[in-house]
């Protein structure tokens, strides 16, 4: 073999090796870029489909607002949106959460929720509620321009309580049910918004105690969206577009 042929072969082998290394580095960089993207832009697997167990065990509601799907009632309604209460991928975790309401007349369900934002949940679920109605929130009225859009979707009255815990807000609702003739009371919780399961359980237990105290009221409890303020791992442990529903004391 001539010298120039050996040089060509060596050059070809060098280029082949260099190209392989370059493609490997580019691939690693691309994978790193995927994981550095914001969580909601990262690829997801099986986050939106319900298991057969979920479908068999619970009533399934589609994306329409919930009160259009469960019918009307002459009872006073208390509509509660529990912030960051989502449907866990681990089915036993949701069973534990629903168990808080086991001693109250109930229907447990799952509701399709297309957007992972509290504002979307409020504007969807609180719209066109029976009058006279009252909206309550234990936080800043300017958060997400809440005061403006609550008025726009048709609430007769709104009360905001700066930095008020869920327990304080339930005391307010308790007094309103005893003294006022409101048709609908709507309240969005705050304590569970970080996705902490202990905080969520505490809020659900407070609501269960309240529901037992007021069997005359139909109490509709549902999540706003899956937890979005925690780690990507926490968010991915919940279904992307489903929230739990507990309909309590609905006698009709």
Predicted TM-score (pTM) of the model is 0.81
The mean of the pLDDT values for the chain is: 85
Residues 6+ apart with CB under 8 A from 238: 47, 86, 87, 88, 89, 226, 227
- Low-confidence winner among 45-54, 104-113, 120-129 (lowest mean pLDDT): 45-54
Q: Can you tell me the mean pLDDT for 135-163?
A: 92
CB-based burial label for 53 (10 Å; 0-12, 13-18, 19+): exposed
Report pLDDT for 120. 93
- Residue 43: the pLDDT is 47
Domain boundaries, position 239? 52-248
Is a pLDDT exceeding 70 seen at residue 2?
A: no
What was the pLDDT predicted at 35? 45
**Cross-strand bridge partners of residue 157:** 134
If asked whether residues 85 and 26 sit together in one domain, one would say no
pLDDT of residue 40: 47
pLDDT at 39: 42
Confidence (pLDDT) at 7:
60
Looking at the fold, whether 105 and 209 belong to one and the same domain comes out as yes
Q: Which of 211, 249, 207 lies closest to 85, judged by CA?
A: 207
Q: What is the pLDDT of residues 68-106, one digit of tens each?
A: 898 777 889 999 999 999 999 999 999 999 999 999 999
Give pLDDT tens digits for 30-44: 444 444 445 444 444
Co-location of 97 and 26 in the same domain: no
> Parallel, antiparallel, or unpaired for β 242-248 and 218-223?
antiparallel
171 and 244, same domain (yes or no) = yes
* pLDDT tens column, 117-137: 999 999 999 998 888 999 999
Helix (H), strand (E) at residue 218: strand 218-223
Count CB atoms within 10 A of the CB of residue 5: 9
Q: Rounded distance, CA 76 to CA 131, Å?
A: 10
**Same domain assignment for residues 125 and 11:** no
For residue 109, give the nearest of 52, 65, 57 by alpha carbon: 57
Residue keyed to tokens 């992307």: 240
- Considering its fold, how many domains does the chain have in total? 2
Residue at 30 is within a domain:
yes
Query: 9-38, pLDDT tens digit by residue?
Result: 555 555 656 555 455 555 544 444 444 445
User: Is 32 in the same domain as 56?
Assistant: no
d(CA 17, CA 190): 58
The Cβ of residue 155 has, within 10 Å, a number of other Cβ atoms equal to 19
DSSP annotation of 224: S
User: What pLDDT does 6 receive?
Assistant: 56
**Do residue 169 and residue 207 come from a single domain?**
yes
């Amino acid at each position: 073999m001539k010298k120039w042929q050996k040089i060509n072969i060596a050059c070809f082998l060098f280029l082949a090796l260099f190209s392989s290394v370059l493609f490997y580095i580019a691939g690693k960089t691309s994978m790193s870029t995927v994981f550095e993207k914001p969580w909601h832009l990262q690829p997801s697997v099986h986050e939106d489909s319900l298991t057969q167990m979920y479908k068999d065990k619970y009533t399934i509601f589609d994306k329409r607002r919930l009160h259009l799907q469960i019918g009307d009632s002459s009872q006073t309604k208390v509509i509660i949106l529990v912030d960051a209460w989502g449907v866990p991928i681990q089915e036993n975790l949701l069973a534990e959460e629903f168990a808080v309401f086991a001693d109250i007349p109930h229907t447990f369900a799952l509701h399709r929720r297309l957007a992972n934002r509290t504002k979307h949940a409020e504007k969807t679920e609180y719209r066109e509620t029976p009058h006279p109605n009252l909206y309550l929130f234990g936080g800043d009225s300017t958060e997400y321009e809440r005061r403006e859009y609550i008025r726009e979707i048709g609430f007769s009255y709104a009360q905001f309580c700066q930095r008020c815990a869920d327990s304080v807000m339930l005391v307010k609702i308790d007094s309103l049910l005893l003294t006022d003739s409101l048709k609908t009371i709507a309240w969005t919780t705050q304590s569970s918004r970080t996705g902490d399961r202990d905080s969520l359980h505490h809020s659900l237990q407070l609501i269960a105690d309240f529901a037992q105290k007021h069997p005359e009221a139909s109490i509709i409890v549902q999540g706003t969206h899956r937890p979005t303020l925690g780690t990507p791992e926490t968010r991915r442990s919940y279904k992307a577009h489903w929230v739990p529903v507990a309909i309590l004391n609905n006698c009709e």
